[in-house]
Amino acid sequence: MKKIINSVESLLEESLNGFAKAHQDIIEFNNTPHFIRRKQLSTNAKVALISGGGSGHEPLHTGLVGIGMLDAACPGYIFTSPSPDQMMAAAESVENGAGVLFIVKNYAGDVMNFEIAGEMLSCPCDTVLVSDDVSLPKDHPTGRRGVAGTLIVEKIVGAAAEAGASLAECKALGDRVNKATATMGVALSSCTVPALGKPTFEIADNEMEMGVGIHGERGRQTMPLENADQIVKHLVEAIDPELQPQKSQKVLLHVNGFGATPLMELYLVFDLAATLWQQKGIDVVRSLVGNYTTSLDMAGCSVTLTLLDDELIGLWDAPVHTANLRWGC
Amino acid sequence: MKKIINSVESLLEESLNGFAKAHQDIIEFNNTPHFIRRKQLSTNAKVALISGGGSGHEPLHTGLVGIGMLDAACPGYIFTSPSPDQMMAAAESVENGAGVLFIVKNYAGDVMNFEIAGEMLSCPCDTVLVSDDVSLPKDHPTGRRGVAGTLIVEKIVGAAAEAGASLAECKALGDRVNKATATMGVALSSCTVPALGKPTFEIADNEMEMGVGIHGERGRQTMPLENADQIVKHLVEAIDPELQPQKSQKVLLHVNGFGATPLMELYLVFDLAATLWQQKGIDVVRSLVGNYTTSLDMAGCSVTLTLLDDELIGLWDAPVHTANLRWGC
């Protein structure tokens, strides 16, 4: 294992210390228990948005805390759910009179711990479960996983909360964006979890994993490595029947790198995916290309499509100021 | 070689097509010859800032074209200098009455081709050579290389040009920032250039390359892999005697990932480097952490320090709107 770390045990805290130091103008780091919170809370009563999950997906979620997005994020150890006491402490720190909305990627541990925290909170609290990964069937026993579409839910609900939407409105909006969002990913390599010290799975030089999540796990299918045209066709064809975008439908197209794939390749994937949808008359009006929901040093990427309307476009465009997503301020 | 591409020959153009499609609100892509230019030129006469170099370092330079930074960027093939006709065409496209300043990383091919282009231009033209890489001695026959500090030169000079600085002022400012900037890098792996199809150099699992550039070349020294504390100490100790920051000196600290190193590790490096300088009384007032000057899929990072004064802080903070660096607008 080749990593720039001091020890497996100290990695998370040292990294969060650096994050807090680099972004001290907008966030604060609470060490015991771990959470990152927005430095300046809204002066009005505002729904507090809180997310979290295992670390190793940076910038998700800590890099998305700030004006117009999350109020707090709870990082667990790498690929490990944060604990209810982190979520409780974060909620109590940022709640300011309009309740708490948890935005939770659908993984058993995260769901359970956020549920426990929600039950223990004394303020109104609700949860949006993100389940955008279409590599698993709709009727999968534990439901579909939350992956790169989570950022889109957080951005859009974050803008609504900032504009004064109620807890019920934020919850309904989050569910709506989740339903309008689908993601499919492909990996060319596994990642190396520091505590394990070696790649999670072996993959041959002429193979790829189609339908992967974001934890370096095996995908839906190991396939022969193909060229970019064919890879992107698989991704688009997995998403298309789920959302069934009609002609002239406005969409956000998000190409997310898992960590080790160069930006050149991500933009190439964006071009091919956009072209395929444009050929069907779909209107790609917004885009996001880069490493946002990563899986440590995994090579590969996912494609996410979100069906937009004018309200969602307005919320996507609204000002945001976080460590890793920033515009309009 | 595992990459998401169609062919080595088509990679650059397909990637630029995707980049242009994703950022059509701020940039335009000229195909023959290749350059990316700012969509809306300044309405006043403004020094035109142009950079360029081999591709494979994205987001440098194409992702830094826009308001408050570059007016155009000329991408060569991967790790290959762009040609004088690209630079000429870009300059003629964006020059608007105040001359052209080339910002050039110090590599023989880039320097020669920008020089040829400058000689052929009919408008006033000057060049800032960036040479921030302290892994080579000051008296190296071809001079020191330009690496991650290039972004800092481009941001600060970009803000000055936007504010109406003259060609002579921009040139002097660029030289001043270059002199106030030093970078040292370390790699844990090589990168794989598509045309070569395999890693540029072999490195054992228990080794690292200290003092690397950004082209997957061997560094100053192959060393046993050490822990993060020791790695960062090497980087800081290479930079410190070059800039000799005094107590209370304000600095910008930039930790740049080469491509495949997770953000968690980059923030850890930031924490350790900031702490070492803070212990000497240095005041880290600005920061930038992320993958900005990459070397395809190389694992590793560089640390860059720039000595700041109030003028440079103001220019760093000035609004910028490019694909990959954006604040204040």
Judged by CB atoms within 8 Å, which residues 10-69 of B form the interface with A? 11-12, 14-19, 21-23, 55-56, 58-59, 63
Residue B175 has pLDDT above 90, yes or no: yes
Residue A291 has pLDDT above 90, yes or no: yes
Q: Do A263 and B328 touch (CB under 8 A)?
A: no
Judged by CB atoms within 8 Å, which residues 291-320 of B form the interface with A? 291, 294, 296-297, 299-301
CB atoms within 10 A of CB A283: 14
Kindly identify which residue of chain B lies nearest to residue A272, measuring between CA atoms.
B18
Q: What is the CA radius of gyration of chain A?
A: 19
Q: Do B14 and A58 touch (CB under 8 A)?
A: no
A316 neighbourhood in chain B, CB within 8 Å: none
pLDDT at residue A164 in the model = 97
Mean pLDDT in chain A? 97
The alpha carbon of residue A216 is apart from the nearest alpha carbon of chain B, in Å, by: 14
The alpha carbon of residue A325 is apart from the nearest alpha carbon of chain B, in Å, by: 9
Residues forming beta bridges with residue B51, ordered by sequence position: B73, B103
Report yes or no: A5 and A13 within 8 Å, Cβ to Cβ: no
The alpha carbon of residue B205 is apart from the nearest alpha carbon of chain A, in Å, by: 7
pLDDT digits (tens, 9 = 90+) for A195-227: 999 999 999 999 999 999 999 888 999 999 999
- Residues B292 and B287: their CA atoms lie apart, in Å, by 13
Residues forming beta bridges with residue B254, ordered by sequence position: B288, B304
Q: What is the pTM assigned to this prediction?
A: 0.98
Residue A81 has pLDDT above 90, yes or no: yes
Residue B148 pLDDT level (bands cut at 50, 70, 90)? very high
Q: Does A325 touch chain B (CB under 8 A)?
A: no
Tokens 């667990």 appear where?
A: A76
- Residues A12 and A14: their CA atoms lie apart, in Å, by 6
- Residues B148 and A200: their CA atoms lie apart, in Å, by 32
Query: Any alpha helices (H) in chain A, and if so which ranges?
Result: 11-22, 84-94, 108-120, 149-162, 167-179, 228-243, 263-279, 310-317
Report yes or no: A53 and A107 within 8 Å, Cβ to Cβ: yes
Residue A329 pLDDT level (bands cut at 50, 70, 90)? confident
pLDDT at residue B40 in the model = 93
For the CA atoms of A287, A292, A295, A301, the dihedral, rounded to the nearest 10 degrees, stands at: 20
Residue A82 has pLDDT above 90, yes or no: yes
Q: Residue B263 corresponds to which amino acid?
A: L
Q: Does B195 touch chain A (CB under 8 A)?
A: no
Kindly identify which residue of chain B lies nearest to residue A23, measuring between CA atoms.
B287
Kindly identify which residue of chain B lies nearest to residue A22, measuring between CA atoms.
B287
- Residues A218 and A204: their CA atoms lie apart, in Å, by 13
| Candidates A65, A225, A264, A321, partner chain B, best to mutate (most B CBs within 10 A) | A264
- Residues B118 and B221: their CA atoms lie apart, in Å, by 36
**Mean pLDDT computed over B275-285:** 98
- Cα distance between the two ends of chain B: 40
Q: B313-328: string of b/e by CB count within 10 Å (b at 16+)? A: eebbebebbbbbbbbe
Residue B54: DSSP 8-state: E
For the CA atoms of A250, A149, A328, B177, the dihedral, rounded to the nearest 10 degrees, stands at: -120
- Residues A53 and B218: their CA atoms lie apart, in Å, by 38
pLDDT at residue A167 in the model = 98
CB atoms within 10 A of CB A224: 9
Give the active site residue among A34, A57, A61, A234: A57
Q: Do B188 and A300 touch (CB under 8 A)?
A: no
Mean pLDDT in chain B? 97
A11 neighbourhood in chain B, CB within 8 Å: 264-265, 268
Residue A58 has pLDDT above 90, yes or no: yes
* pLDDT more than 90, % of chain B: 97
Supply the DSSP string of B104-132, one letter for each residue.
EES-HHHHHHHHHHHHH-SS-EEEEEE--
Q: Distances in Å between the alpha carbon of A61 and those of A12, A104, A158, B257?
A: 14, 11, 13, 19
Supply the DSSP string of A94-141, one letter for each residue.
H--SS-EEEEEES-HHHHHHHHHHHHH-SS-EEEEEE--BTTS-TT-T
pLDDT digits (tens, 9 = 90+) for B286-324: 999 999 999 999 999 999 999 999 999 999 999 999 999
Q: Does B259 touch chain A (CB under 8 A)?
A: yes
Work out the burial of residue A213: count CB atoms within 10 Å of its CB; fewer than 13 is exposed, 13-18 middle, 19 or more buried.
Answer: buried
Q: Does A4 touch chain B (CB under 8 A)?
A: yes
CB atoms within 10 A of CB A32: 8
Tokens 């990932």 appear where?
A: B257
Residue B1 has pLDDT above 90, yes or no: no
Kindly identify which residue of chain B lies nearest to residue A270, measuring between CA atoms.
B18
pLDDT digits (tens, 9 = 90+) for B28-78: 999 999 999 999 998 899 999 999 999 999 999 999 999 999 999 999 999
pLDDT digits (tens, 9 = 90+) for B190-222: 999 999 999 999 999 999 999 999 998 889 999
pLDDT at residue A5 in the model = 97
**Mean pLDDT computed over A91-104:** 97
User: Rounded to 5 degrees, what angle do the CA atoms B252, B254, B256 make?
Assistant: 170
The alpha carbon of residue A323 is apart from the nearest alpha carbon of chain B, in Å, by: 10
Residue in B18, B261, B290 closest to A268 by CB: B18
**Mean pLDDT computed over A159-180:** 98
* pLDDT more than 70, % of chain A: 100
Q: Do B264 and A7 touch (CB under 8 A)?
A: no
A270 neighbourhood in chain B, CB within 8 Å: 18, 21-22
Q: What is the CA radius of gyration of chain B?
A: 19
Judged by CB atoms within 8 Å, which residues 65-124 of B form the interface with A? 78
Query: Domains in chain A and their CATH numbers?
Result: 11-180 (3.40.50.10440), 181-315 (3.30.1180.20)
Q: Do B21 and A271 touch (CB under 8 A)?
A: yes
A16 neighbourhood in chain B, CB within 8 Å: 267
Residue A67 has pLDDT above 90, yes or no: yes
- Residues B109 and B311: their CA atoms lie apart, in Å, by 33
Report yes or no: A72 and A91 within 8 Å, Cβ to Cβ: yes
pLDDT at residue B222 in the model = 96
B4 neighbourhood in chain A, CB within 8 Å: 186, 188, 228, 231, 261, 265, 268-269, 300-301
A6 neighbourhood in chain B, CB within 8 Å: 227-229, 268
Q: Do B299 and A2 touch (CB under 8 A)?
A: yes
Q: Do A269 and B327 touch (CB under 8 A)?
A: no
**Mean pLDDT computed over B237-259:** 98
Report yes or no: B87 and B117 within 8 Å, Cβ to Cβ: yes
pLDDT at residue B81 in the model = 97
A310 CB-near residues (< 8 Å, 6+ apart): none
Report yes or no: A134 and A183 within 8 Å, Cβ to Cβ: yes
pLDDT at residue B23 in the model = 98
Give the active site residue among A34, A215, A234, A254: A215
The alpha carbon of residue B273 is apart from the nearest alpha carbon of chain A, in Å, by: 9
Phi, psi of A185 (to 5 degrees): -125, 160
Residue B266 has pLDDT above 90, yes or no: yes
pLDDT at residue B52 in the model = 98
pLDDT at residue B60 in the model = 98
Residue of B90, B89, B56, B96 whose CA lies nearest to B73: B90
Q: Do A21 and B227 touch (CB under 8 A)?
A: no
Under DSSP, is residue A222 helix (H, G, I), strand (E, B) or coil? strand
Q: Residue A81 corresponds to which amino acid?
A: S
Show which residues of B are catalytic: 57, 215
pLDDT at residue A1 in the model = 84
pLDDT at residue B216 in the model = 85
